[in-house]
Amino acid sequence: MTDKPYLLQIGEVNDRMRQRYEAEFTVLRLFDHEDRAGFLAEHGAKFVAVATDGHWGLPAGVPEALPNLKVVSSYGVGYDAIDADSAAARGIIVAHTPDVLNDEVADTAMMLWLAVSRGLIPSDAWARSGQWRRDGAFPLTRSVQNRTVGILGFGRIGQTIAARAEAFGAKVIYHTRTRRDVPQVYYGDLVDMATASDVLICITPGGAATRHLVNAQVLAALGPEGILINVARGSVVDEPALIAALQSGALGGAGLDVFEVEPAIPEALKSMENVVMTPHVGSATVETRQAMGDLTCDNLSRFLKDGTVLTPVPECRDLVPGD
């Protein structure tokens, strides 16, 4: 027998996180069990806490199998794989890891924009292959200076991206469901913003409400010299429409860190020189992932101490006194 409360671990964790979990909880791992339904039927009532991540969230059937669940701590800022409204209705606090990854994701967005605009990947191939010697100078590319940058989603990361873009002399405009008290220009209509933009950067949350928000009409409005950057969720962009726009020349280029079905990237995207892709690494540095892991653990530790968490998701803030 153990006096430690039970924690259900969903997904993989690093050694530092595992040591902290095991110091405070009796940890059982969902993915250690082939018969997960049977495992949950036998042990589900024991768990007061879940540690998960933005990819796995709470898989179907898990919340219903945990009648005594009190807190969910997710490694990542996005939590669309967790039904936070249902959790809040049950009195379950959901926590995530905002702020600690703002800079890294913003840097990734800028990296992708610069790489697409300046032709980084094809010019690297030009230098490596000997084409420079054979064929002369690499074709001219487009400057990133003094562009109009439209940002879809203007929360913490969106505003961090804005500051970086403005360092390149950009005029930053933005679209969200509600206007923010910020100096940047607000667009209530996404198509209108895309029409006004040279670059459209997606950093809105995923989920049903934003699925395929960037559709064929938005891409056409961005235009044949426009660039789409997605560091949000793959579901935000209509991927077949994106491929069609790139193939037809209706869109100038794209920088993508996320895809609709990961890790299955469409072959059509892989063959395009005007597309730069990274494998969902927006926050993937040693320093940032350590900070995310620490905050995931800190939220659980705080819950054990006083029944609150440091960084609840908005849907659960009413469950955290004083937040």
- Are residues 189 and 46 part of one domain? no
- Are residues 251 and 164 part of one domain? yes
Question: Alpha helix locations (H) across 197-285?
Answer: 216-222, 239-248, 267-270
pLDDT, position 148: 98
Residue 282 lies in a domain: no
- Are residues 15 and 83 part of one domain? yes
- Are residues 113 and 92 part of one domain? no
- Euclidean distance between CA atoms 320 and 138, whole angstroms: 57
- Per-residue pLDDT of 23-44, as tens digits, reads 999 999 999 999 999 999 999 9
Question: Which candidate, 120, 204, 206, places its Cα nearest to that of 158?
Answer: 204
Residue 206 lies in a domain: yes
pLDDT, position 2: 63
Type and span of the H or E element at 199: strand 199-202
Instruction: Please give the tally of structural domains in the chain.
Output: 2
* Order of strands, sheet of 26-29, starting from the edge strand that comes earlier in the sequence: 26-29, 6-9, 47-53, 71-75, 93-95
Helix/strand/coil for 233: coil
- Are residues 127 and 38 part of one domain? no
pLDDT, position 3: 87
CATH number of 198's domain: 3.40.50.720
Range of the domain at 196: 102-277
DSSP secondary structure, 59-71, as one string? -TTTGGG-TT--E
- Per-residue pLDDT of 285-314, as tens digits, reads 999 999 999 999 999 999 999 999 999 999
Instruction: Calculate ∠ Cα 297-86-102, nearest 5°.
Output: 45
- Are residues 294 and 245 part of one domain? no
What parts of the chain have a pLDDT lower than 50? 1
Instruction: Calculate ∠ Cα 284-289-294, nearest 5°.
Output: 170
Is the separation of the CB atoms in 272 and 239 below 8 Å? Answer: no
- Per-residue pLDDT of 233-274, as tens digits, reads 999 999 999 999 999 999 999 999 999 999 999 999 999 999
- Are residues 247 and 125 part of one domain? yes
- Are residues 91 and 56 part of one domain? yes
Distance from CA of residue 99 to its chain's centroid? 12
Residue 1 lies in a domain: no
Report the catalytic residues. 233, 262, 280
- Are residues 216 and 75 part of one domain? no
- Are residues 13 and 83 part of one domain? yes
- Are residues 173 and 248 part of one domain? yes
